[in-house]
Structure formats: C-alpha cells, structure tokens
Amino acid sequence: MDTDELRRRLTPEQYEVCVNHGTEPPFSGRYARSGPEGAYLCVCCGRRLFESGSKFDSGTGWPSFTMPASEEDVTYEADTSMGMARTEVNCRCGSHLGHVFDDGPGPGRQRYCINSASLVHEKDAGGGP
C-alpha cells in the first residue's frame, strides 16, 4: 500500500483503522447496524470483500459477516495484542479489516467482525473507492 496516497485519500479514521490496524468505537461505524443489499468493498483498493447476504447483527457494535466474498481476497494473521489471542483479517492489499471469531451463526460458526471504516458499499463507491 502506498501510505502517502492513502493518507491523502482516506479520512483520518479510515487511515488509522486500515494502515495502523486501529479499531473504530463500537456502534459508531456507518455499517454497524445495517446496510444496503450488495457488496462491501475494501476502502483502500476496491476489492469485493463481503456480501450483504452474509451480514448479520451480532450485537457487538461492528459489522459482522459469516464469510468473505472470496477466501482469495483476505489474509489472516495471528494477533496477540491487547492481551488476547485473536485472528486478524486483512484485505489482500494489506489493509486491516478486523478480526474473525469462532462464535458466529451457521455451519461455519465464523463471525467476521469488521470495521466500517475499512469498507465502502458498492452503491457508495461511485465506480470505485
């Protein structure tokens, strides 16, 4: 990722989340409670990451999904910060998205807990982020 270009293009909150692996406050993000039908894209590169059909209300304050649109577009890393062991989820471009937990609904039991700041809905993208 070209961090200088991202600093110019993203809001300070988006930059903090995506580049510095930050977390937005719960229930503060644009897509925390609901969101339109369709695809959620990476705010940094425009890659299609999640579909509205896999979105659910986890009650945690962050957008939650049961699976990514494609496993090829996300990467996973061990995250032992904040005194706990978690699995970090990143876009293939390197942008931090959030974390995945094994307490979700459905057969896969996955809950992708994703920061709204790292996403843009395809309807809001206007042909690209």
CA distance 62 to 50: 14
pLDDT at 129: 40
Neighbour-count burial for 68-96, b at 16+ CB within 10 Å, e otherwise: bbeeebbeeeeeeeeeeebebbbbeeebb
Query: Which residues of the chain have a pLDDT value below 70?
Result: 126-129
- The CATH code that applies to domain 3-123 is 2.170.150.20
Residue ranges covered by each domain of the chain: 3-123
91 among known catalytic residues: no
What is the distance of C-alpha 89 from the center of its chain? Answer: 8
Concatenate the DSSP letters of all residues of 89-108 into one string.
Answer: EEETTS-EEEEEES--SSTT
pLDDT at 35: 74
